[in-house]
Structure 1
Amino acid sequence: MSDRSRLRPAPTVLVALLLCVPPFYLDAFWLRIGLFSLAAAIGAIGLTLLSGTAGQLSLGHAFFLAVGAYGYTWLAGEPGPGLPTALAAVLAVLLAGAVGGLFSPVAGRVRGIYLGVATLALVFLGHHLLLTADSVTGGFNGRSVPPLTVGGFGFTTGGPELVVLGVPFGAEERLWYLGLALFALTWFTARGLLRSRPGRALAALRDSETAAAVMGVDVARHRAAAFVVSSMYAGLAGVLLALAFRRVVPDYFSLGLSVDYLAMIVLGGLGSVAGTTAGAVFVTALPLLMTRYADQLPLVAAPGATDGAVGPTEAARYLYGAAIVVVLLCAPDGLHGLTRRLRDRVRRRKPGTPTRQPAYPAAPARPKEHTP
C-alpha cells in the first residue's frame, strides 16, 4: 500500500473529530441549525441518488419525509401503538420505503418530467391526508414528537442528567451526536452504493437508457429500486427532523420543501454526495441565519414586520434562487465540479507535479527535404 493511500482517510477522520466539538462551544441555536442541516443532507443524498445518479426527476420528496416523521410520531406515541421509540424509528424508515415501493412501478416505467408530475400528486395527496386524518396526524395543529430513547438513554433534556467535560448535555447536544451518526451511516452507504455495480448501472441509465439496456441492465427494476432507496433516505431524514422540531405540522411538508431539496442537489452537484451535503447546509442554514440577523441586514425586515419589506425567509429564497442561476450558467456540475476544477488547477501550478503523458507517442518529425 502506498503512502498516499494510507493517508487518504486522514482528512475524513479530521473532519469527524471537528464535528464532535461544536456541542462543547456552541449554544442551542447553532446546534439546532446543524441538526436541521444534517437532516436535510440525509434527505438530499437520497434525492441525488434518484435524480443525480439515476436521472429521475422527483417532486415528491416532501411526502416521504412526512411519512418518516409522522410514522415515527404515531408508532411511538399516543394515540398509536406506543412502540419503543428506537423500534418506531426503524419501522418509520421501513414504512417510507414500503410506500416508495408501492409507487415504484410508476417510477420504473415513467421518466423525466412525467415522473416529476406524477410525484407532484403525492405531495398534494399527502398534505390533504395530513390535514384530514386527525386521529393519526393531529390535523392542522400537528402532534408532539415522543423523544427517542435507546437502551435507557434519552435524547432529551429530561431524564438522567448528563455532564461531559463540565458541559451539561441537553436535547440539542445529545441529538447532535445522533444526527452525526445517522449522517455518517448515510454518507458511507450512499458512497458505497455509487461505487457498486448497481450504482454504475444507475449511472449508465442516466447517460443512455438504450446503451444500458443493451448491456443487460434491467431498466424498470433499477429505476424502481432507486426510488425505494431514495424514499428510505427521506424517511430517515423525516425521523431526525421530527426529533429536532419536537412537533410536526402538515404545513412544513409542502411543495416548497420538495423544491428546496431540488435546489440542494443542483447547487451541490448532481450525483455527488459531498456536493449535495454542501448544498443542503447552504439552503437550510441561510434562512435561519437571515431570520436571526434580520435587524442587521439591509433591505430585510424583521420577522413579523408589516411594512411590506422582504422577510428573511423570502430573502433567503431569492438568494439561493440567484445562486442556482449562477451555478447553472458558470458551473453546471455544481459546487462539487467547481471544487474539483479548482483543485486540479492548484495541482497543475505546484512545482514538480508530474504532467499527464499523452495517450499515444508523438509521431516522429519528418526530415526536411533539400531542394537541389
Structure 2
Amino acid sequence: MTRPRTYVWIAGAVLLLALPFYLDRFWLQAGLFAMAAAIGAIGINLLTGATGQLSMGHAFFLAIGAYGYCVFAGESGGVSGGEGGLTGLGLPTWLAAALAVGVAGIAGGLFSPIAGRLRGAYLGIATLALIFIGQHVLFNAHDLTGGSNGRDVPPLSIFGLTFDDSELVVAAVPFGASEKLWYAGLVLLLGCGLFARGVLRGRPGRAMNAIRDHRIAAGVIGVPVARYRAGVFVLSSMYAGLAGVLLALVFQRTVPDYFGMTLSLEYLAMIVIGGLGSVAGAVAGAAVVSLLPQLLTRYSDALPLVSAPGTGGIAPGEASRYLYGAAVVAVVLFLPGGLAGIAARRSRPTSGPTPGESGEPGQSGESGEER
C-alpha cells in the first residue's frame, strides 16, 4: 500500500517540474539561489553537523568554484566590464565546471591537515582566515578575477544545449537562461542530496557521528579519525565549489564582495535553522535564509519598517539578517533539532506511555529495587 508521504513527494516533484512554465524570472532566480544555497548547505552540514568540524570559511570554497569556472571556461584576453587582459583557458564549459569543483576539493584537501589538528573555536578561527586570504586574492588578482568589478560568467553548454537567454520554445513557453538552469539545478540538488543521504545512512555516516560525539572513543573502536575528517573536508569543499559554479551561472557575473564572511555565517545559520546532520534540514534552512532577503526586497513597500536602502527605514538585507539571527537563537533555545526535528516529531507515530513515562512506576523498576 502506498503511503501518503509518497503522494506528497510525487506532487512536489510534479510542481517543481512545472514551475518554469508559470513563474516569472524573479521567482525562478530566487529558486535557483535557494538550490545553490541548498547544495552548499548540504556540504557544510556534512562537515559541521555530522562530523562536528566548525567551518567559517565555506564562502572561500564557493569563490573557488565560481571563479575557477570563469577562468577555465573564459577566453584568454577577453574584456569584462571595460577591463581587458583577463586570463581564461577557453575549455568546454562542462569540463570547466567539473574542474572548478575538483579544484575546490583540492583546496579543501590542502587545508585538511590543518583542520585535523584543530577543533572547536580554534578550527573556526583557522577557517575564518581563509576568508581574508580569499578576499585579498579576489580583489588583487585582476588577471584572474577582474578585481572589484568581477568578471562575466560564460554560459554553460552541455550536449549542444546552451544555458543562456537564447530562447528555446517548449509548449509555447519561451525558455531563457533561468528556465533552463532551473532543471539543471534540480538535477544537481537531487544528486547531491541523495549522495549525502547515502553517506549519512551508511557506514561513513556512523563513523562521522562517532567522531562528532567523541573523537577519542571513535579512534579506540577503530575509526580512522584523521582520514575521515580529511575526507569530509574535501567532500564539503566540493559541494561548496559546485554551489559556487551554480551561483555564478545564475548571477552571470562574479564579484568579490559576495564571497565574504557574511556568506559563511549565512551558511552556518542555514544548518542550525534546518537541523544539524540532516540533509532535508539543510535544504529547508537554505530555502529560509536565501529566500528571506529576496522576499523582503520584493514586498518592502507593503511591509512596516522595511524600505529601500537610503530611504530611512531598515534595508531588506539588514532586516533579513535580524530575522534569521532571531531564528537561530530561537532554534538553539527551544528547537535543538531545527526544522528537521519538528518534521521528525510530527511524522513519528504516537504510542502509549512507556512504564517510565506513566504516572505509576513500571513493574521492571519495582522488581529491580526489591530483593
Match of 2:73 in 1: 76
Q: Which amino acid letter does the alignment assign opposite residue 105 of structure 1?
A: P
What displacement does 1:12 show? 3.3
Counterparts of 1:16-35 in structure 2, within 5 Å, are 16-35=13-32
Q: 1:364 to 1:241 in 2, by over 3 A?
A: closer
Counterparts of 1:1-372 in structure 2, within 5 Å, are 3=1, 10-79=7-76, 80-158=88-166, 161-303=167-309, 305-307=310-312, 309-344=313-348, 347-348=349-350, 355=352, 362=363
What displacement does 1:111 show? 1.3
Q: Deviations over 1:219-250 (max 9, x none)?
A: 11111111000000000000000000000000
What displacement does 1:157 show? 1.1
Are 1:59 and 1:119, in contact at CA under 8 Å, matched by a contact in 2? yes
1:143 and 1:168 map into 2 onto residues whose CA distance is 27
1:356 and 1:16 map into 2 onto residues whose CA distance is 37
- SS of the residue corresponding to residue 222 of structure 2 reads coil
What displacement does 1:189 show? 0.4
2:211 and 2:272 map into 1 onto residues whose CA distance is 19
State the structure with more CA Rg: 1
- SS of the residue corresponding to residue 20 of structure 1 reads helix
Q: Which amino acid letter does the alignment assign opposite residue 320 of structure 2?
A: A
Are 1:59 and 1:120, in contact at CA under 8 Å, matched by a contact in 2? yes
2:14 and 2:288 map into 1 onto residues whose CA distance is 21
What displacement does 1:143 show? 0.2
Q: Which amino acid letter does the alignment assign opposite residue 229 of structure 1?
A: L
What displacement does 1:186 show? 0.5
Q: 1:104 to 1:364 in 2, by over 3 A?
A: closer
- SS of the residue corresponding to residue 21 of structure 1 reads helix
Q: 1:244 to 1:365 in 2, by over 3 A?
A: closer
What displacement does 1:10 show? 4.7
- SS of the residue corresponding to residue 163 of structure 1 reads strand
What displacement does 1:356 show? 8.0
- SS of the residue corresponding to residue 327 of structure 1 reads helix
Match of 2:83 in 1: none
1:10 and 1:82 map into 2 onto residues whose CA distance is 45
Q: CA RMSD in A?
A: 1.9
Q: Which amino acid letter does the alignment assign opposite residue 337 of structure 2?
A: D
Match of 1:370 in 2: none
Q: Which amino acid letter does the alignment assign opposite residue 23 of structure 2?
A: L
What displacement does 1:13 show? 3.4
Are 1:108 and 1:222, in contact at CA under 8 Å, matched by a contact in 2? no
Match of 1:369 in 2: none
Are 1:71 and 1:92, in contact at CA under 8 Å, matched by a contact in 2? yes
Q: Which amino acid letter does the alignment assign opposite residue 159 of structure 2?
A: G
1:109 and 1:14 map into 2 onto residues whose CA distance is 47
Match of 1:351 in 2: none
TM-score under structure 2 normalisation?
A: 0.91
1:58 and 1:82 map into 2 onto residues whose CA distance is 33
Q: Which amino acid letter does the alignment assign opposite residue 347 of structure 2?
A: R
Q: Which amino acid letter does the alignment assign opposite residue 292 of structure 1?
A: R
What displacement does 1:343 show? 2.9
Are 1:327 and 1:334, in contact at CA under 8 Å, matched by a contact in 2? yes
1:358 and 1:205 map into 2 onto residues whose CA distance is 33
Paired residues in the alignment total 351
Runs of at least 5 residues in structure 2 that lack an aligned partner in the other structure: 77-87, 357-361
Q: Which amino acid letter does the alignment assign opposite residue 339 of structure 1?
A: A
